[in-house]
Structure 1
Amino acid sequence: MDRRKVLLLVAAVIAALGTLLVFLYARGADTRAEERFETRDVLRAVATIEPGESIEAAQQAGKLALQPVPNAMIVGPGLTSTSGLAGQLALTRIYPGEQIIEQKFGTSSEGASAQLPIPDDQIAISVNLSDPARVAGFVNPNSEVTIFVTGTNPVDSQTFSRMLLDRIAVLGVGSTTPITTTTTTEEGTTTEQLPRTLLTLAVTKAQAEKILYAQSVGELAFGLTTETSQLPPGQGANADNLFR
């Protein structure tokens, strides 16, 4: 076999291998995408469960329902029945949309008076965020978030977006309510309803002051973090450095 035929054969083998690798990668990507959006039915609250309310009373009142939740958002094992919570009381207020987890129920009436699992040196505050600002609903109790603020600097009137606080613990996710917003443009006035959800955070006094002030002068947004998230401090983004 002459050299030209050998080269053609090698090229054909390489092309076949390349096609096979592309096919395997595409199939793997499809599988990963399906796993990401695959859901499982778990117990969630559909009405507020008050502290001290028994799981039986909540179920009888129709406050629980099996609802589909993306696998990535399921807290713990994901309960599908109340059998493991028989005779137990809610230790904290559970809002509509929250998943039913064992840690929020107990048999002690003293424990039922507890409000939230707040660390000893911190306090709990709540903020109201839209779906995009809370990572499209992927923020759940026990999540850790970074808080960003976008607004206008009152000193020089320059708009900016900057990380405010990092690695803040989420204690609870409350009810979602529609908020009506009206936007006026040259084409006319547009009115739309956007869902906003109450999120409760564990923070220090100084952090609470920063969050409350930032919320009054700008818009807050959460970033969902992991143990390996890189969150170096910086000057944020503004008109001067946006494209640098």
Structure 2
Amino acid sequence: MRRRLFPMVLALVLAAIGTALVFAYVQGADRRALAGHRAVDALVAAKAIPAGTPASDLRRNGWVRSVRMPASAVPDDLVTTIDGGLEDLVVGSAIGLGHLIRKPLLVPRGRSQGFAVPEGKLALTVALTDPQRVAGYVTAGSEVAVFVATKLLDSRGKPLGEATGARMLMADIEVLSIGPAKAKEKDAASVDPQTLVTVAVTQREAEKLVWATGAQQSGRGNALYLALQTDSTRLDTNSPGVSSFTFAK
């Protein structure tokens, strides 16, 4: 009896040791991935956060969760904790699931529209699909360049066949707010969902955007695209753009 019992006990002990070793390996995976990198605790949206949500409720009500990330992979304005300096703020515009919580996304309570229009600027809203706003990575606080694709016209304003062109309209544009556009029921299944993007612009920039979006909505072949900028982005604001006749040069 004892001879049969000993192998069984030994097998159970070895199984327990193996399980413990596997658990220790899994627990150490994140630490090994971050080895050699300074890590920070980043707050990310655990679910979609509506505009106006108090910052003090983000942790308490499970709106955000903490994720360990390499410091080199996160922006400088990242929110790592909701401390006394942020508790009195609210979410300025809707934040999507999984998005990093950044300081520009939090604004003072009672601020009209949930954002502040920079002095001397206008707030203008355009409706864009996800591909037109960097797959949804354009958020409140982003700095973007705006590009337009158009059909080419002759001197009489008539389309030059199927010829098209594209060029940059403006750069260094601040995104003030992001929010979903309400789709009409009859169009909901047939068109790509759109998002309302509000930007801070000068009068001249607003005129260009209104012209471009008006032509887009009327079916004249125009399309706007936003491109995310960084501190190291280099742009040629005098570029003539490209067309069906010059893109290969």
Q: Normalising by structure 2, report the TM-score.
A: 0.59
The counterpart of 2:176, out of the listed 171, 176, 189, is 171
1:94 & 1:196 partners in 2: Cα distance? 14
Once the two structures are superposed, what CA deviation does each residue of 1:50-84 show, in whole Å capped at 9, x if it has no partner?
44x53344555554455799988744353354355
1:205 equivalent to 2:203? Answer yes
For 1:112, the equivalent position in structure 2 comes to: 109
Amino acid at match of 1:212: V
Structure having the larger proportion of residues in strand: 1
Secondary structure, aligned partner of 2:171: strand
For 2:45, the equivalent position in structure 1 comes to: 44
For 1:156, the equivalent position in structure 2 comes to: 158
Mapping of residues 98-109 of structure 1, within 5 Å: 99-105=100-106
1:169 & 1:237 partners in 2: Cα distance? 25
Measured after TM superposition, the shift of residue 47 of structure 1 is 4.0
Mapping of residues 42-191 of structure 1, within 5 Å: 42-44=43-45, 46-51=47-52, 53-57=53-57, 63-65=63-65, 74-76=74-76, 78-83=78-83, 87-90=87-90, 92-97=92-97, 99-105=100-106, 111-114=108-111, 115-153=114-152, 155-158=157-160, 159-175=164-180
For 1:23, the equivalent position in structure 2 comes to: none
Q: Normalising by structure 1, report the TM-score.
A: 0.60
For 1:239, the equivalent position in structure 2 comes to: 244
For 2:17, the equivalent position in structure 1 comes to: none
Secondary structure, aligned partner of 2:207: helix
For 2:22, the equivalent position in structure 1 comes to: none
1:181 & 1:74 partners in 2: Cα distance? 41
For 2:227, the equivalent position in structure 1 comes to: 223
For 1:22, the equivalent position in structure 2 comes to: none
1:123 & 1:104 partners in 2: Cα distance? 19
Closer, same or farther: CA 66–137 of 1 in aligned 2, 3 Å: farther
Question: Structure 1 vs Structure 2: percent identity of aligned residues?
Answer: 25
**How many residues align structurally?**
192
Does the Cα contact within 8 Å between 1:46 and 1:64 map onto a contact in 2? yes
1:181 & 1:130 partners in 2: Cα distance? 18
1:90 & 1:69 partners in 2: Cα distance? 25
Secondary structure, aligned partner of 2:214: helix
Secondary structure, aligned partner of 1:46: coil
Does the Cα contact within 8 Å between 1:160 and 1:239 map onto a contact in 2? yes
Closer, same or farther: CA 232–206 of 1 in aligned 2, 3 Å: closer
Stretch deviating more after TM superposition (165-174 or 53-62):
53-62
Closer, same or farther: CA 222–69 of 1 in aligned 2, 3 Å: farther
1:224 & 1:126 partners in 2: Cα distance? 17
1:178 & 1:197 partners in 2: Cα distance? 10
Secondary structure, aligned partner of 1:240: coil
Amino acid at match of 1:128: A
1:80 & 1:61 partners in 2: Cα distance? 17
Measured after TM superposition, the shift of residue 131 of structure 1 is 2.6
Amino acid at match of 1:206: R
